[in-house]
Chains A and B, each alone.
Chain A
Amino acid sequence: MKPRLRSLIAAAGFAALLIAPAVQAQTTLLNVSYDVTRELYKDINPAFTSWYKAKTGKEVTVNQSHGGSSKQALSVAAGLEADVITMNQSTDIDILVERGGLVAADWRKRFPHDATPYTTYSVFLVRKGNPKGIKDWNDLARPGLSVIVPNPKTSGNGRYTYLAAWGSVIAKGGSEADARDFVTKVFRNVPVLDGGGRGATTTFTQRDLGDVLVTFENEAAQIARELGDGKFDVVYPSITIDASPPVAVVESVVAKRGTAAEAKAYLDFLYADEGQKIIAKHFFRPRSEAVLKANADRFPPIKAFFVEQLLGNWNDVQKKHFADGGVYDQIVVNR
């Protein structure tokens, strides 16, 4: 027993040594991202590595972490050393400005289009042939319909859905009270609130639950065209929300790790033609006109509003609707 115990301890010590050097062998970037960009960055990262090598001759590997947008932002605030963050909601980057200035206060100005290299929108995914005849937001409030939405408390995707439903009423000239009444009816039809966007998709497609899934266009289109075995259709509502996902460099981390140049190049790559093509391939709408035109069949015209334009400043919206005891809480608690 004695020598065995000793060798066990030795093995443990050896194991601890093993992992230490493996982490720092070459230049790496860590991209901390939200839930439904998994497939996108799986393609972007190797493409960036070869693009960067061709450009500078340097070798960079990109590591990837995914999860609910807010949860990921929180991890970065708590010390997860992300060089770049690619979130789905600007408040999740603003929080990093507030929390000890991890991100520059003017991060929106550092990259084109308010630092959003691609756009996406909240749309509907329905079962093949649209058996329930779901055309627009009004339909979601129909009694007896089952609507799958990720949890607005924990997921940016869910928050966009909630705000899109709210804004659809306001955009048509409705009052705040009308909007609240409508959103209450929609959430009465929600049987499951998954923690993240991908969880909601799985519930809808794999568990056969619900008549309609509200999620980002890229997710819906990917399921309808590629992953869903042709069992689903995308429905575009008459108006929806612009959910352009923002990106930023985490200044404090790149300063410490000496990766500022690589991090900036990585985000630049998202705007470059090659990056934009990969983005379009994954059903995100590229910013490049040329790439958008080349993929016109994937992206039907869509009418959308911005949160700031219709509902006011993001941070105020966040507080009013999603803080504890806010409008969303009142709606779901009393439904």
Chain B
Amino acid sequence: MSAATLFNPTRQTRVLPGFGLSLGYTLVYLSLLVLIPLSAVFLKTATLGWSEFWAVVTAPRVVASYKLSFGASLLAAGINAVFGLMLAWALVRYTFPGKKLIDALVDLPFALPTAVAGIALTALYAGNGWVGSILEPLGLKVAFTPLGVLVALVFIGVPFVVRTVQPILEDLETELEEAAASLGAQRWQTFTKVILPILLPALLTGFALAFARAVGEYGSVIFIAGNIPMVSEITPLMIITKLEQYDYVGATAIATVMLVFSFALLLVINLLQAWSAKRTGRNR
């Protein structure tokens, strides 16, 4: 498949130069650093027969790890969608002391190394930590349980929803709400019928990004998870475990499952963004 047929420019005649150069460079760089290395995973996996591959990726422990990784990531992304929306709302709509600081700190999970986050969260949420010592007497164990995995995944996902919803919220014309109010709509009605539909594509994108990031997360989760088979083992840990038993092929088989999933999810996100751009008319 040559690049020319796949990436053929369409529609308008090109006035601007540099299409060939920039696309060529992009494709070469992308191939060298991402596509060729990733294809190694698939080729290594292909040395397994189909039935062996199926046996590896559907082993009970691995399946349990999918359930935790995908389940906890889904839940964490959901929590982030709700609270991230609230936080974005508060940052755009309200004045309160320390707002600038909070706004800046929203990106912290992005910039803080995952291992540092993992260690700090474990120290906080363990039975003798600041938060853990309050929760544990209430019968709520966080560190070293699936709940701990959830906490770490919520942490790393915070910026995504806030940062995708925030700009849309800022661009929202106040006229819409004024019109709704003048037509007699309650504030809650205005929110659900007018504002939320506009925010929805961005919210979904943020949700999907947080989800995609959470599924692959390793560094911050591993410290707080407990890593008990069938209970608190995440899928990336299964890959590492296979690797440490010299089982490269098994590791790449599970990696393949994750890769295919990531790619599908990202494709959905990009289509979602294209759809939202069309809807809101932000893309000229």
Q: Which residues of A contact B (CB under 8 A)?
A: 68, 70-71, 74, 77, 95, 99, 151, 153-154, 190-195, 203, 206-209, 322-325, 329, 332-333
* Complex interface bits, B122-136 against A, C-beta within 8 A gives 1, otherwise 0: 110011110000000
Q: Which of B245-263 contact A (CB under 8 A)?
A: 245-247, 250
Q: Are the C-beta atoms of A74 and B244 separated by less than 8 Å?
A: yes
Q: Which residues of B contact A (CB under 8 A)?
A: 59-61, 122-123, 126-129, 143-144, 222, 226-230, 240-247, 250
Q: With contacts A68-B244, A77-B246 known, is A207 near B59, CB below 8 A?
A: no
Q: Are the C-beta atoms of A151 and B128 separated by less than 8 Å?
A: no
Q: Are the C-beta atoms of A192 and B144 separated by less than 8 Å?
A: yes
Q: Chain B residues with Cβ under 8 A from A68's Cβ?
A: 244
Q: Are the C-beta atoms of A209 and B246 separated by less than 8 Å?
A: no
Q: Report the minimal beta-carbon distance from A327 to chain B, rounded to whole angstroms.
A: 13
Q: List 14 A-B contacts (CB under 8 A).
A: A74-B244, A153-B245, A154-B241, A194-B227, A207-B143, A207-B144, A208-B128, A209-B126, A209-B144, A322-B245, A325-B59, A329-B229, A332-B229, A333-B230
Q: Are the C-beta atoms of B227 and A193 separated by less than 8 Å?
A: yes
Q: Are the C-beta atoms of A153 and B59 separated by less than 8 Å?
A: no
B228 touches which of A74, A191, A329 (Cβ 8 Å): A191
Q: Report the minimal beta-carbon distance from B11 to chain A, rounded to whole angstroms.
A: 32
Q: Chain B residues with Cβ under 8 A from A153's Cβ?
A: 241, 244-245
Q: Are the C-beta atoms of B61 and A192 separated by less than 8 Å?
A: no
Q: Report the minimal beta-carbon distance from A201 to chain B, rounded to whole angstroms.
A: 14
Q: Are the C-beta atoms of A71 and B244 separated by less than 8 Å?
A: yes
Closest residue of chain B to A71 (Cβ to Cβ) is B244
Q: Report the minimal beta-carbon distance from B251 to chain A, rounded to whole angstroms.
A: 11
A208–B125 Cα gap in the complex (Å)? Answer: 12
Closest residue of chain A to B144 (Cβ to Cβ) is A192
Q: With contacts A68-B244, A209-B126, A329-B61 known, is A324 near B250, CB below 8 A?
A: yes
Q: Are the C-beta atoms of B229 and A333 separated by less than 8 Å?
A: yes
Q: Are the C-beta atoms of B227 and A207 separated by less than 8 Å?
A: no
Q: Are the C-beta atoms of B227 and A192 separated by less than 8 Å?
A: yes
Q: Chain B residues with Cβ under 8 A from A191's Cβ?
A: 144, 226, 228
A70–B240 Cα gap in the complex (Å)? Answer: 11
Q: With contacts A154-B244, A207-B127, A208-B126 known, is A332 near B230, CB below 8 A?
A: yes
A323–B61 Cα gap in the complex (Å)? Answer: 13
What would 4 more interface pairs be, CB under 8 Å, given A151-B241, A209-B127? A95-B246, A153-B244, A209-B144, A324-B250
Closest residue of chain A to B148 (Cβ to Cβ) is A192
A325–B245 Cα gap in the complex (Å)? Answer: 13
A70–B61 Cα gap in the complex (Å)? Answer: 21
Closest residue of chain B to A67 (Cβ to Cβ) is B244
Q: Chain A residues with Cβ under 8 A from B229's Cβ?
A: 193, 329, 332-333
A211–B61 Cα gap in the complex (Å)? Answer: 27
Q: Chain A residues with Cβ under 8 A from B129's Cβ?
A: 207
B246 touches which of A74, A195, A325, A332 (Cβ 8 Å): A74
A193–B240 Cα gap in the complex (Å)? Answer: 14
Q: Report the minimal beta-carbon distance from A100 to chain B, rounded to whole angstroms.
A: 13
Q: Chain A residues with Cβ under 8 A from B242's Cβ?
A: 324
A325–B228 Cα gap in the complex (Å)? Answer: 16
